[in-house]
Chains A and B, each alone.
Chain A
Amino acid sequence: MSDNNNSWATPAALALPKEGYFELESGRYGPTFPKTPANYGFTIIVKVKEGREDIIREYGKTIEAAVKDSPNVLEPLKLHFLRWVLFDVGSGLHFMYQGIFDTDFDKYMEDAIALFNSTGVTTVFVNLEGFPEDWKTNIDAVTKFFREHQRPSFLEYGEYPYVSAAEVKSALKLKAAFSEMLDQMQ
């Protein structure tokens, strides 16, 4: 792990088998996916229900507002990045939800559902085909939905591999503190 050596300094790429993992390891709700140079993450692709495009795009603004309002709102999810994409390559409109995390999503499933609920994100999934009606109470069904629509990567790359968001932030804080110190020494 990056804590113990300078592995962050050497860019790394990792090719993954079709399943997205080398060895089957189960979490509480199903198989887990390994840490790669680009950390943990998922890519979920689901067909959008007829006529819901505008509603989904509106949710982009909802999230923007929620984070602006309370910058730490997504903190418990151990996120680096989220990327939401809508596309149609001839088979109808699809929604792609890509997230890069510092942990396998199996571990924080309940946190995610609770957070989505409180920020209004969940309702974005309600616009997708097959999302369970009883998502609020049926974690198993929600997890199953995500797993069925997860498309594992077969290549992941990191320019500064395996580094956690917390490490990036503390390195930048340190840098800021150093420049402040240098300023003070002028």
Chain B
Amino acid sequence: MLELEDIQHYLLARPNAVIAQYNFITFHNAEAGRKWVEALIPTVGTAQSVLAANPNDMRWVSLAFTWNGLQKLGVSEEELATFPEAFRQGMAARAAMLGDTGINHPDNWEDNMASEDLHAVVILFARDKDERERCIKKHQEYLDQTPGVEILSTLLLEAVPPLDYVHEHFGYRDRITTPVIEGMVIGAKGEVAISTGPKEESRIPEFTSTSPGSHLPSKPGEFFLGYPDETGVIPLQPQPEVLSKNGSYLAYRKMQEHVGAFRNFLKQNGKTIEEQELVAAKLMGRWRKTGAPLVLSPDKDDRELGFDNQRNNNFDYEKMDPHGYACPVGSHCRRMNVRDTSVSRIMNRRLIIRRGGTYGPYLPDDAPDDGANRGIAVFAGCADISRQFEFLISVWANDPEFEHLNERDPFAGSIDGAFEVTIPKRPIKKKLKGLQAFTTVRGGAYFFLPGIKALKYLASLQ
């Protein structure tokens, strides 16, 4: 049973917010850091409080730390050594393995992401701009009280218009699929209960009712430390238990989206709007405007299908599209969730909970690329950075040998310069060559998102 009163809400309840801000923080000394953590604890929303709150009330913050940050706060060397290697090293140190080379290399990252001084991130959500101003002001007051704590960088996240559907800058509808956690149901009055079936009424439908064809509900230990995972037992945890219990890891990834290059690509490869939409869908595995899966609707978009969560995940690749004639093997969705037992039998151990949003100015459909920095800034929540996040990026997104394609994921891949995309087609496959990268990695880091008791423990360290 998940301890919802101790778990930060971030991975469980998606705030009803169109604006967020990430404040990346450095501590100049332990005492100041601890004081700042202590001051913020009352504002950190637990899963329970956020689920019970008025949906319009989203003044909650989330608070997570890098390994360097935990060290700076005074966690003992002995305890620090019990954290997994990936987290201890940090994302920048593992760039070569992840595939972040060339222009994607940490030397080129922004926002001081590769800095040893990056110690924490505060995620602030807001319903609107005024609310955000108020939150930022409030956070600034905390900072003013603790001169040894400073903002290294900030990033403003704002939904891309039109706001009638959630999408990123290329225009792809997002937030369709997400893992479901076993045993979690929130009753109509906000009471927490154990799930007895997919039909329970709930305040957070995405976590309580699985849409047909998606993964079976995950064991809580796949995302929260201190619980049994898919092996049936509780894996070894960092020490002391009060620090790790109810915590999760967040792998942060900031990727710039080159919207102009992407639109040019569509124009070069499609004469009509319909052809362009088909090419866009082939890269993603889902139709752009609706998210309708290509496997179920290979030739044209289907709005009803896209928005019907009883159907929009109800497919596999192995039996329904083994050669990728509908959905290319190298498309983003097919790489990130293979739905094919010849590729993986342990898909349930490779899941991440995706959080985050888009940053940078909206580029209207007919506007030429203005060169502005825009993209996605996402956190992948998991219990094992290496097995879950790093595997997805280093193998399924960036390993040229994945399914013998000699390519990378057109979106999540770290592409440097020109690249290729194979679109299986009869009689012979179509290979689109010399494409300019659509995305560039601009930053990344590994954070630990502690439970509330753990935050108190950190604040009380001597």
Contact = CB atoms under 8 A, between A and B. Distances in A.
Interface of A: 1, 3-4, 25-29, 72, 75-76, 102-103, 107, 110-111, 114-115, 118, 134, 136-140, 164, 166-167
Given A1-B406, A28-B386, A134-B236, A76 B341 contact: yes
Contact of A136 (B96, B233, B390, B401): B233
A137 B399 contact: no
A28 B446 CA distance: 14
Interface stretch (B60-68, B297-305, B343-351): B343-351
B395 A107 contact: yes
17 contacts: A1-B406, A4-B406, A27-B97, A28-B86, A28-B394, A72-B341, A76-B341, A76-B342, A76-B344, A102-B401, A107-B399, A110-B349, A110-B391, A114-B346, A137-B235, A138-B236, A140-B84
Contacts of A139: 387
B404 interface: yes
- Considering the complex of A and B, which 10 residue pairs feature the smallest CB-CB distances, nearest first? A137-B235, A114-B346, A28-B386, A75-B342, A107-B395, A26-B97, A28-B390, A110-B387, A76-B345, A137-B233
B236 A137 contact: yes
Contacts of B234: 137
Contact of A111 (B85, B97, B346): B346
B94 to A, nearest CB: 8
B96 A26 contact: yes
Contacts of B345: 76, 111, 114-115, 118
Given A75-B342, A111-B345, A138-B235, A29 B406 contact: no
A29 to B, nearest CB: 7
Contact of A28 (B343, B346, B391): B391
Interface string B81-103: 00011100000001011000000
Interface of B: 84-86, 94, 96-97, 231, 233-236, 341-346, 349, 386-387, 390-391, 394-395, 399, 401, 404, 406
B342 A29 contact: no
Contacts of B349: 110, 114
Nearest to B384: A139
Contacts of A140: 84-85
A137 B401 CA distance: 28
A18 to B, nearest CB: 22
A107 B394 contact: yes
Contacts of A26: 94, 96-97
A111 to B, nearest CB: 6
A163 to B, nearest CB: 11
Contacts of B97: 25-28
Nearest to A118: B345
B342 A72 contact: yes
A28 B393 CA distance: 11
A136 B231 CA distance: 7
B335 to A, nearest CB: 14
B404 A3 contact: yes
B404 to A, nearest CB: 6
B99 to A, nearest CB: 11
Contacts of A167: 404
Contacts of B406: 1, 3-4
B401 A103 contact: yes
Nearest to B386: A28
B249 to A, nearest CB: 14
A29 B386 CA distance: 8
A101 to B, nearest CB: 11
Given A28-B391, A107-B391, 6 more contacts: A1-B406, A102-B401, A107-B399, A110-B391, A114-B346, A134-B236
B131 to A, nearest CB: 40
B433 to A, nearest CB: 12
A29 B395 CA distance: 13
B200 to A, nearest CB: 30
Contacts of B395: 107
Nearest to B346: A114
A114 to B, nearest CB: 5
Nearest to B97: A26
A156 to B, nearest CB: 17
A64 to B, nearest CB: 20
A134 B390 CA distance: 23
A151 B344 CA distance: 28
Nearest to A167: B404
Interface centre among B86, B342, B401, B406, by most chain A C-beta atoms within 10 angstroms, is B401
Contacts of A4: 406
A75 B235 CA distance: 27
Interface centre among A28, A102, A110, by most chain B C-beta atoms within 10 angstroms, is A28
A4 B405 CA distance: 11
Contact of A76 (B233, B343, B387, B404): B343
Contacts of A3: 404, 406
